[in-house]
Chains A and B, each alone.
Chain A
Amino acid sequence: MSQPVGRWLARAALVGVALVALGAIWEAYKDWGPTDGVKLFGTRVLPRTTDASMPHLSRIWHAFGDPEVGGAITFGPSKTVFDSVFDSAVHTLRWAAAGFAIGVLVGMLLALLMDRLAVFERALMPYVVLSQTVPLIALAPLVTKWGQGWDFWDRWMSVAVIAAYLAFFPVAVGMVRGLKSPTAVHADYFRCSAASWWHTLVRLKLPASVPFLVPSLRLAAAGAVVGTIVAEISTGLEGGIGRLIITYSQQATGDPSRVYAAVIGAAALGLTALLAIAAFDLALWRYHRGATTR
């Protein structure tokens, strides 16, 4: 109840402190670091400190307020960089959410199947693991091609499918472990109570798998966001943050602050996804092992 909330706030505060520290290191390096960066054996391991490589944080901050100049003069209230970043982040978030939902659904179904029949686990698990070694870049054109066969298919759906491809994996693996987590005593008790498969699932296995599922969902959410951004770029879908990062970096000649602004937008997007999972986690506190012990 209040305890998990308190612990959670303390953790959030710590994350804030880390962010400030990171900003301080950035600024300190920019002011005092060597102009040409740091090289080790001919490879640059730390970036140049020029404005073209590392803009001041304040410059990035101001970049959000810059008017968006897409070449043509737009009528009506002019869009700022912030507006663009925000809008594209929202688009990407929506696609990622769709991909996440599909991924979680597929992952859970696979886990249920693998839990129900050991044959499935032995047969499927190697492929589940193997699936993650296929590079997304190779997958993108394939998925796009499949989609072209259907009338209802929109291009964002290909992106969502690719995001789902990354998201389903941790869910499937975590959930299988979770479903198997009840002890022998619990299993015996449910059998003695003549509980059906469905009742055992809903009253025992699913609640018991929550502590395993939450970390899986966190990985799946991060995977869905990364997958969406990569898929946007590799399928050439416009309107999302991935595409915006590419556009800005092509525009940036002397001033990369907009690229950083877009990257910050992408980071905020990932953070939003993780916060959603954290809220879910918080809502299910009673299913955590020993949640009420001190």
Chain B
Amino acid sequence: MTEPETSPGPAPAPAVHLRGVGKTFAARRGTVVALEEIDLTIGSGEFVSLIGPSGCGKSTLLRIVADLLPPTTGEVAVNGKPARRARLDQDYGIAFQQAGLLDWRTVQANIELPLELHGVDRAKRRARAGELIELVGLSEFARHRPPQLSGGMQQRVAIARSLAESPALLLMDEPFGALDEMTRERMQNELVRIAGETGAAVVFVTHSIPEAVFLSDRVIVMSARPGRISDVVAVDLGPRTDDTREAPAFYAAITQVREALRGRPVPATADVVADVEKARRNAAEGAL
């Protein structure tokens, strides 16, 4: 009943569906509104970035989708299920800014961990981890332990781990935030490739405008105090390659997002207008 979208036809439920989501935290004096009236639907296979100033609640929003935090108001559906059910069913994979690997396990065993937790038998675990290690290009390091790897490599292991159960949705909270610029761009290329190959929808929290633009189909621009969606910028750059980073359209999109962050009017291209209108309408509905 929470999911009207599932009824009309064979189309799959959206990866994420948020309606009127708000979050307030108790503070020493009164309450702090971290998120207010968030409406957002992310289609299956869609790559969406959340960007905004510190304190805009983008990480909080991700944590709500992951069922690490309960929303104060509103409804959250992941894969057409309540967030808690989706978490228990392992409908999403997750990666954080810190890789969060277990230092005492090898790369292979770290990637096998989620499968191990869910009772997948040893042979299947081995095979799946093997595939993923290849996917993230760490075949030579399968038997290494995390402390022996660079930050970028650790993050690749964390991404492989998040993909272990072939989730339809990947949640990523600034996974490249601690990496140097060159490693970061390489990781972005890989992530685009991986998301394409696995067909997973991705919700990607970041501080970096070029990163958001390079990776996403849509960039959700948020403002702080209270955290709201202020704009939605659709990015249409076709298949991403290293040349994409030099393309005029790439810079144009960056400018668009930057201006959206500053609150200036966004240049009118048809679909952007539509998205922005929708976001405004949603926000207005929420305010009523």
Distance between Cα atoms of A194 and B91 in the complex (Å): 11
Q: Out of A183, A286, A293, name the residue touching B104 (CB < 8 Å).
A: A286
CB of A292 within 8 A of CB of B90, answer: no
CB contacts (< 8 Å) of A287 on chain B: these are: 104
CB of B100 within 8 A of CB of A185, answer: yes
Chain A residue with Cβ nearest B86: A194
Chain B residue with Cβ nearest A207: B104
CB of A293 within 8 A of CB of B148, answer: yes
State the main secondary structure of chain B at its contact with A: loop
Chain A residue with Cβ nearest B99: A185
CB distance from A87 to the nearest CB of B (A): 41
Instruction: Decide yes or no: A292 and B145 within 8 Å by CB, A183-B100, A188-B100, A286-B104 being known contacts.
Output: yes
Q: Mark B89-128, 1 if CB is under 8 A from A, else 0.
A: 1101010101010111000000001101110000000000
Distance between Cα atoms of A187 and B202 in the complex (Å): 22
CB contacts (< 8 Å) of B118 on chain A: these are: 193-194
Q: Out of A186, A193, A290, name the residue touching B114 (CB < 8 Å).
A: A193
Distance between Cα atoms of A193 and B145 in the complex (Å): 21
**A291 interfacial by beta-carbon distance below 8 Å:** yes
**B66 interfacial by beta-carbon distance below 8 Å:** yes
CB of B104 within 8 A of CB of A290, answer: no
Instruction: Decide yes or no: A189 and B96 within 8 Å by CB, A195-B117, A204-B102, A287-B104 being known contacts.
Output: yes
CB distance from A290 to the nearest CB of B (A): 5
CB distance from A25 to the nearest CB of B (A): 42
Please report the total number of B residues contacting A with Cβ < 8 Å.
24
**B88 interfacial by beta-carbon distance below 8 Å:** yes
CB distance from A285 to the nearest CB of B (A): 9
Chain A residue with Cβ nearest B161: A189
CB contacts (< 8 Å) of B148 on chain A: these are: 292-293
CB contacts (< 8 Å) of B103 on chain A: these are: 289-292
Chain B residue with Cβ nearest A284: B104
CB of B116 within 8 A of CB of A203, answer: yes
Chain A residue with Cβ nearest B63: A188
Q: Mark A192-223, 1 if CB is under 8 A from B, else 0.
A: 11110001000110010000000000000000
**B252 interfacial by beta-carbon distance below 8 Å:** no
CB distance from A284 to the nearest CB of B (A): 9
CB distance from A4 to the nearest CB of B (A): 14
CB of B100 within 8 A of CB of A194, answer: no
Distance between Cα atoms of A199 and B116 in the complex (Å): 10
Q: Mark B134-152, 1 if CB is under 8 A from A, else 0.
A: 0000000000110110000
Distance between Cα atoms of A246 and B96 in the complex (Å): 63
**B184 interfacial by beta-carbon distance below 8 Å:** no
Distance between Cα atoms of A48 and B100 in the complex (Å): 61
**A191 interfacial by beta-carbon distance below 8 Å:** yes
CB contacts (< 8 Å) of A191 on chain B: these are: 68, 87
Q: Out of B90, B98, B104, B147, name the residue touching A193 (CB < 8 Å).
A: B90
Q: Out of A189, A195, A293, name the residue touching B94 (CB < 8 Å).
A: A189
Distance between Cα atoms of A117 and B256 in the complex (Å): 51
Distance between Cα atoms of A186 and B104 in the complex (Å): 13
Top 5 A-B residue pairs of the complex, sorted by shortest distance between their CB atoms = A185-B100, A293-B147, A185-B98, A287-B104, A292-B145
Supply 12 A–B pairs (Cβ within 8 Å), ascending by A. A186-B100, A188-B96, A192-B87, A193-B113, A193-B117, A194-B89, A204-B102, A207-B104, A287-B104, A291-B103, A292-B144, A292-B148
Point out residues on B near A: beta carbons under 8 Å: 66-68, 87-90, 92, 94, 96, 98, 100, 102-104, 113-114, 116-118, 144-145, 147-148
Sample of 16 further A-B pairs with CB below 8 A, known A192-B87, A292-B103, A292-B147 = A183-B98, A183-B100, A188-B68, A191-B87, A192-B92, A193-B113, A193-B114, A194-B90, A199-B117, A286-B145, A287-B104, A289-B103, A291-B145, A291-B147, A292-B145, A292-B148
